[in-house]
Every structure is written in C-alpha cells, then in structure tokens.
Amino acid sequence: MSLSRTEMDQMPVDLATDLRQTVDQVTKEALNLGYRLELRVAQARERRAERHGDVPVMVAFDGYGTTSHVRILGRALLKTAGPEDPTDEDESSIRGWRSFTSLPITFAHVDVRLGEHEFHLVADKGGVIDADLEISLEPGVHEAHLRTDGSRWATSRITVVDDAQRIGIISDVDDTVMVTALPRPMLAAWNSFVLNEHARAPTPGMAVLMERLSKKHVGAPFLYLSTGAWNVAPTLRRFLNRNAYPSGALLLTDWGPTTDRWFRSGSRHKVENLEHLARDFPDVKWILIGDDGQHDPEIYGGFARRYPQNVAAVVIRNLSPTEAVLASGQLLTDNAARIPEGIPLIEANDGATISQKLADVGLL
C-alpha cells in the first residue's frame, strides 16, 4: 500500500509523523546501503590491484591560500607500475577513459610537507585530499609535497594571495573555457571517455579574456570551478596550459553515492565551494564567469544575493542556439541571473565581447 503526501497530511498528527519518520529512515538506510556497497567494491578492487602489483601514486593538484592558511588538494591512487606521475603519459594520443582506469585508495593516509611544516591527513573514500591547513606563509607561489604510504613525493604549487588583493576570478570550465556540451549524456560520455584531449575546442576569445584579467588584476587568484570528476584533473590541467589560460587551482568533485544522496549534486558542489571561498577571502570581490547551459546563472545569482560584498560582477557566456541544443537538448529560454542592483551582469557569446563589457564597467 502506498500513501500520498495529502493522505498523510489528513491523518492524525502522531500517525502521520511516525510514517514520515519511517519513510525518512528507510530512505536514509537505502542511501547508506549504496554508499557502503560502493565502498566495499572499491576496497575489493584495491586488494585485487595490490595483488596484481599495482603501486601507490600520489597526484598533487594546485592549491591556494592566504597568509594564514592554505587549501591542499591531491589524490591517492593505485596505478599499474610505470611512469610515476599519471600526467607523464604519452600526450600524443590521450583519451579521456585513461583518466578513469587508476583506482583511488580509500581513506589513504597522506603526509604533507609545506616549508618546515609537516601534516598528516586522511583522504576520503575517493582517495581525495581537500584540506585547509593553518600555516603562515608569505604571498607568492610555494611548493607543497604530498606522499601516501609507499609512493614517491608529489609536488603541487600553492598560490598564496596577498592580504591586500581585492579581486579574484572564478570560472566554470564546460562550455565556458572549453566547448564540451557536457549535460547531454551521450555527448558527455564521448567527450569524457573517448575524445582525444587535443581535439577539445577552447571557447572563442576566453583565453584572451582571462589573460587580460590576469594583467589588469595582478596577483588575483584564478580558480576553475567545475562539476567534472577529479579523474579528469590532469586532462583539464594540460588543456588549460596548452590553450594559455592563467594557472589556477581546479575545484572538481567526485562521482558516486554519498551518505545522503545516490549521486553527488553538481550544483551543491559549486555552491559549497563558492561559500568556502567567501570564508577564505572575506575581503575579495569575485568576477564569476560561467555559461547559461547549466545552472551557473542560478548558482551565481544566489551567491550574489547572499554575499553581495564578495561579488564584483557576474559574467554569463550565452550559448548559441546550436550549442544550447547540444548542451540541453532544447533551445534555452529565460535563464537570466537575478543579482542585486549594483552588481554588473555581463552576457555575451564570446570572450571579445565580454572583454569590452568588462572594460565598460571598469573591471578590465
């Protein structure tokens, strides 16, 4: 027997409350079951990989920080014996599926060396280290060294932002700096798992726009916030470098069930990271760059309403009709960002037009 929400609302209060609690408990237990099953499968695959001679590898991602704390990012993997760094593979023919063949080390123990300081961290079930460390550092680029049990040290660049910096840039990746048409499932699978990474197309004019922003706002932090999986971080890093985008930390996510969801929410990932950055840099105003093919206008608009003091401008790249159909299967309708009065909202299809509009409001 199934009961509608209306039927439950018409029941006596105590009975309706008990039923709702039962439904919530069953849902929670089912979600936890999915999480536990994925964890058991992952650990079984780890044991099998170790028996076959796979070796631990630490992949260190670029991080960022202030003069009082830094954010360390990395991933512990099991990889077939060969080149120590997964990014050292032959780049003449790199296909996305190769990024998904290494196994994460669940809850790996990771040592971090930063200057004269050493920290001991534990990764999540996807092998990911994402930790805020309290440490006093001078503004500029520093090196952090990460190692998991049995691996060599891996090195990442940590950009420490000057306390006087007042502007920062946060950019989406898919259909903003790189044309991927990600939301369409078949095209997403093709782009992620099959397509040669050298065939990925940069969005017209966006690299020049980013470079101009980096010259206008010297020392500004650049962060690339995407719903892509950590597996593709080396691929994205190579793409950004090859197409002359400013260097910056990648803020990606992990796939699979959590303790409260069957699949991770891309929107929640972006919202949480934006709020994280607002806490990390309370005096920085961000230029938020995204596109209207997914939920960027809604996410950026919501952040601007909650943290108007931390937003310099919202920039939305409008997809062309063809791109809109590829991205979502239909022409886009009203998807405008609703932001507080006084914060510029800039919309255009290409980087050159966006550059001009940013110049018009004094941000470029």
pLDDT reported for residue 88: 41
Confidence of residue 146 (pLDDT cuts 50, 70, 90): very high
Stated pTM of the model: 0.81
55-160 and 167-360, same CATH topology: no
Structure tokens at 203: 């969005």
User: Residue 74 in contact with residue 105, Cβ under 8 Å?
Assistant: no
pLDDT reported for residue 188: 54
Confidence of residue 20 (pLDDT cuts 50, 70, 90): very low
pLDDT reported for residue 7: 42
pLDDT reported for residue 27: 43
* Domain 55-160 falls under CATH 3.30.565.10: no
The sign of the dihedral angle between the CA atoms of 275, 276, 280, 281 is negative
CA dihedral 213, 216, 217, 218 (to 10 degrees): 110
Confidence of residue 50 (pLDDT cuts 50, 70, 90): confident
Rounded percentage of the chain residues whose pLDDT exceeds 90: 52
Confidence of residue 222 (pLDDT cuts 50, 70, 90): very high
User: Residue 97 in contact with residue 193, Cβ under 8 Å?
Assistant: yes
Domain ranges of the chain: 5-51, 55-160, 167-360
- Return all residues near 354 (Cβ < 8 A) that are at least 6 apart: 205, 206, 209, 315, 317, 346, 348
Q: Just give the CATH number of 167-360.
A: 3.40.50.1000
